[in-house]
Structure 1
Amino acid sequence: MVLILDTIVRTFIGFFVLLLLIRLLGKKQLAHMSFFSYITGIALGNIAGDLVIHKDVKIIDGIIGLALWVFLTAAIEYTVLKFSRSRILFDGEPSIVIKHGKIMEKALSSNKLNMDDLSMLLRIKNVFAISEVEYAILEPNGQLSVLKKEEYEPVTKKDANIQVKRRPYIPTELVVDGKFIGKNLQELNINEDWLLNELKRKGFPNLNDIFYAELQTDGSIFVDRKINVQ
Structure 2
Amino acid sequence: MDFIWQSAILILAGIILLKIAGRKSISQLTLAQTVVMLSIGMIIVQPVVQNSLIKTILVSAFFISSVVVLEYMQVKSNAMEKFITGKAKLIIKNGEIDPKVMRKLRFTVDQLEMRLRIHGVSNLDDIKNATLEVNGELGYELKDDAKPLTVGEFKKLMEAYFPGVQQGGLAQGQKEGLNLFDELDGEEKKDNGMLQ
TM-score range, shorter chain: 0.5 to 0.7
Residue type of the alignment partner of 1:84 = N
Query: Following the alignment from structure 1 to structure 2, what is the Cα–Cα distance between the partners of residues 146 and 156?
Result: 17
Tell me whether 1:119 sits opposite 2:113 in the alignment.
yes
Answer 1 or 2: which has greater helix percent: 2
Q: Please report how far the alpha carbon of residue 61 of structure 1 lies from its aligned counterpart in structure 2 after TM superposition.
A: 3.4
Asked if structure 2 preserves the Cα contact closer than 8 Å seen for 1:99 and 1:136, the reply is yes
Query: Following the alignment from structure 2 to structure 1, what is the Cα–Cα distance between the partners of residues 186 and 52?
Result: 47
Q: Please report how far the alpha carbon of residue 63 of structure 1 lies from its aligned counterpart in structure 2 after TM superposition.
A: 2.6
Distance 1:171 1:142, change over 3 A: farther
- SS of residue in 1 equivalent to 2:151: coil
Asked if structure 2 preserves the Cα contact closer than 8 Å seen for 1:98 and 1:136, the reply is yes
Answer 1 or 2: which has greater strand percent: 1
Query: Following the alignment from structure 1 to structure 2, what is the Cα–Cα distance between the partners of residues 144 and 57?
Result: 44
Distance 1:122 1:168, change over 3 A: closer
Aligned residue for 2:128? 134
Residue type of the alignment partner of 1:110 = K
Percent sequence identity over matched residues?
23
Q: Please report how far the alpha carbon of residue 132 of structure 1 lies from its aligned counterpart in structure 2 after TM superposition.
A: 0.6
Q: State the TM-score, normalized to the length of structure 1.
A: 0.49
Query: Following the alignment from structure 1 to structure 2, what is the Cα–Cα distance between the partners of residues 114 and 143?
Result: 14
Q: Please report how far the alpha carbon of residue 73 of structure 1 lies from its aligned counterpart in structure 2 after TM superposition.
A: 1.0
Does 1 or 2 have the higher relative contact order (CA < 8 Å, sep 6+)? 2
Aligned residue for 1:88? 82
Query: Following the alignment from structure 1 to structure 2, what is the Cα–Cα distance between the partners of residues 77 and 100?
Result: 34
Tell me whether 1:156 sits opposite 2:157 in the alignment.
no
Tell me whether 1:110 sits opposite 2:104 in the alignment.
yes
Q: Please report how far the alpha carbon of residue 142 of structure 1 lies from its aligned counterpart in structure 2 after TM superposition.
A: 0.6
Structure 2: runs of 5+ lacking an equivalent: 1-21, 27-36, 156-166, 192-196
Query: Following the alignment from structure 1 to structure 2, what is the Cα–Cα distance between the partners of residues 114 and 122?
Result: 13
Q: State the TM-score, normalized to the length of structure 2.
A: 0.57
Aligned residue for 1:209? none
Q: Please report how far the alpha carbon of residue 187 of structure 1 lies from its aligned counterpart in structure 2 after TM superposition.
A: 4.0
Query: Following the alignment from structure 1 to structure 2, what is the Cα–Cα distance between the partners of residues 76 and 144?
Result: 25
What is the alpha-carbon root mean square deviation over aligned residues?
3.7
Query: Following the alignment from structure 2 to structure 1, what is the Cα–Cα distance between the partners of residues 142 and 187?
Result: 42
Asked if structure 2 preserves the Cα contact closer than 8 Å seen for 1:125 and 1:146, the reply is no
Instruction: State how many pairs are aligned.
Output: 136
